[in-house]
Amino acid sequence: MNNRLYWALPLITGVLMIGIWYAIKWTNDLPHYILPSPDEIIRAGFAEKDVLFKAARETIVGAVIGFLSAGSIGFALALILSSSSWIKASLYPWVLFLQMIPIIVMVPIFVLWLGPGLPSVAIITFMIGFFPIVANTTQGLISTEKNMVDLFTLYNASKLQEIFFLRVPYALPYFLTGLKIAASLAVIGALTGEIFAGSASGSGGLGFMVVVYNSQLKIPELFATAIVACALGFIFVSMVLVLSWYLLRHWHESVAQKDS
């Protein structure tokens, strides 16, 4: 596929989808509180831009705190899990089991414990990103090639050397995969948190605005909020992709394919 087509095709599908959107709206004569048109959404978004901007900032804070703690604590737990087969045998099944808890059920419980506001939002974001990171990183740490481990044994490497000089770099691509999943879930997690735990002070993040707009039947504004949330998620994932490219660019097939 040539380069121009590569850029043109998604634009064409985008235009087509917007056309279908208008067609549905006009043929069924839908009012703006059922299905707003794209232009109504954009106008509503601009009218509310100060509110949305402020809300987005709050959401970012919650998402970043939750995401970073999921990354660091998840990585640390994976290290602990992989360090001994005893610890792994006693904890890992529970990690996998807890992963199955629908996070939405936990949300009211955290709000009950921590009250509304940032701590609840951050911990919900944390919960949603934590398990994919632990599961992926642990997988990487324990699947290090046998011959490489033997090599380290032959050179009388200490346990710490084996972990930090061999297992951790080996697991890095796995960790980054977990991080990518967590990044795509971070904004969703923060929004979910805010819908339940939105506001401790009368203002809140995007999730809180969802509740407010919904109660006021401001449907175009609701759609605009969704678009802002999309953009935030996109930024989060992009940042992890850049980090991942930077760390793996020399050696990992997933990102290094083109330069050899």
Residues of this chain that interact with other proteins (CB under 8 A) are: 145, 147-148, 150-157, 161, 165-166, 169, 172, 250-253, 256, 260
User: Residue 210 contacts by C-beta under 8 Å, 6 or more apart in sequence?
Assistant: 191, 194, 195, 222, 225
Nearer to other proteins, 28 or 257 (CB): 257
Q: Which two tokens stand for residue 18?
A: 């917007």
Cα-to-chain-centroid distance, residue 203: 23
Q: How far is the CB of 173 from other proteins (least distance, A)?
A: 10
User: Residue 119 contacts by C-beta under 8 Å, 6 or more apart in sequence?
Assistant: none
User: Residue 83 contacts by C-beta under 8 Å, 6 or more apart in sequence?
Assistant: 159, 163
- Which amino acid would we find at residue 88? K
- Around 100, how many Cα atoms within 13 Å sit in the side-chain half-sphere? 4
Nearer to other proteins, 86 or 155 (CB): 155
Nearer to other proteins, 166 or 195 (CB): 166
Q: How far is the CB of 179 from other proteins (least distance, A)?
A: 17
Q: Which two tokens stand for residue 255?
A: 């990102």
Cβ atoms of 198 and 110 within 8 Å: the answer is no
Q: How far is the CB of 257 from other proteins (least distance, A)?
A: 10
Q: How far is the CB of 185 from other proteins (least distance, A)?
A: 28
Q: How far is the CB of 30 from other proteins (least distance, A)?
A: 55
Nearer to other proteins, 48 or 162 (CB): 162
**Residue of 172, 160, 143, 144 whose CA lies nearest to 71:** 172
Cβ atoms of 129 and 66 within 8 Å: the answer is yes
101-to-96, 97, 128 alpha-carbon distances in Å: 10, 8, 10
Nearer to other proteins, 22 or 251 (CB): 251
Nearer to other proteins, 53 or 251 (CB): 251
Q: Which two tokens stand for residue 108?
A: 């009211």
* Residue that has been written with the tokens 């970012």 in this structure: 60
Q: Which two tokens stand for residue 169?
A: 């770099």
Q: How far is the CB of 158 from other proteins (least distance, A)?
A: 8
Q: How far is the CB of 252 from other proteins (least distance, A)?
A: 7
Nearer to other proteins, 144 or 192 (CB): 144
**Residue of 83, 100, 106, 71 whose CA lies nearest to 183:** 71
